[in-house]
Structure 1
Amino acid sequence: MDLLKADLYWKLRPLLSAEASAEAAGTGVDAADLEQAVWVRLLEDHRMPADPAGWLRRAVRSEARGARRRARREVPYGGPPAGSGAEAGGGTSTGAEPEDALLHGEENRALRSAVARLPGRCPELMRALLSPRDLTYREIAGELGISQGSLGPVRSRCLGCLRRMLAVEVAAPALRGMER
């Protein structure tokens, strides 16, 4: 980190903390994860913002919007698939039918296979996150030797990579319109 950005860090740290805390309440994301994402964004940007405080506020809001979008798209692991009739009040399906067991077994095998092909530390992290032991971030950080604050961004990168891998394996929709 160059000297200007280090100085900027100490000057903007209280503002970022306050902005991240305010935005985190509505996103369901930890304020520390928002803070870290903004610092990473600043460090990756090779030019200094003209208005650092304004840039910081916009960056926090942008990261919070992204977190809200991801929260709407993500489905909790282990729940019934949408539209399966196994949701609360959705029918009498118990999930014990042989077809359900077969489908869930295939989904689990595909997921485990994709997780094993992830790069770097992602396989370890994803196995810890998907563990039936339901580990906390602190326990996962301790097991993997990663700081607790970096688990959120690392998890996000790993999930993005996993999404891209699985999207390639899923059949592409039929072409329509001008794409032919």
Structure 2
Amino acid sequence: MDLLEELRPLLAAEAAAEAPGAGVEPADLEQGVWLRLLEHTRASGPPQQPARWLRSAVRAEARGARRRALREVPYDPVADGPPSGPESCAERRALEAERRRALHAAVRRLPGRCPGLLSALMSRSDPTYREIAGALGISQGSLGPVRSRCLGCLRRMLMAEVAAPELWGKER
């Protein structure tokens, strides 16, 4: 179609101009306008004044995108967490308690001084490095390197537990 090739640069420019105000990508606006043009062409043929029609269609798509943005709420399961409300408070507390129990159980399985050190670091009393070093009988300067090794060990241990199991009978 000659009309499409003729309108493509104008549509790209109009969409690029309207997209930031609508909070969408220019390509999304372009796609919506192409669909409008297809529907319009099927219903009543090509527009009489294509450039004018295209400009109004881009603005209409941008208005629609702004309206949708006001109604839609993005969902981020990591940041949002479980839904808030009276019915989910008990569930949330139970999940957090289970997470803490699993972490403390993993820390207890660590070798050497790691269980004592990481338990002290996770303590609700929030002891200082000086207090932890005194309780464990090690120098305060070595707490950082030991902590780093312990966290690395914990990370490797948890990754091995969480890793997806391999298929049985899988050849290597």
State the TM-score, normalized to the length of structure 2: 0.46
Q: Which of the pair has more CA radius of gyration?
A: 2
- Larger RCO: Structure 1 or Structure 2 (Cα < 8 Å, ≥ 6 residues apart)? 1
State the TM-score, normalized to the length of structure 1: 0.44
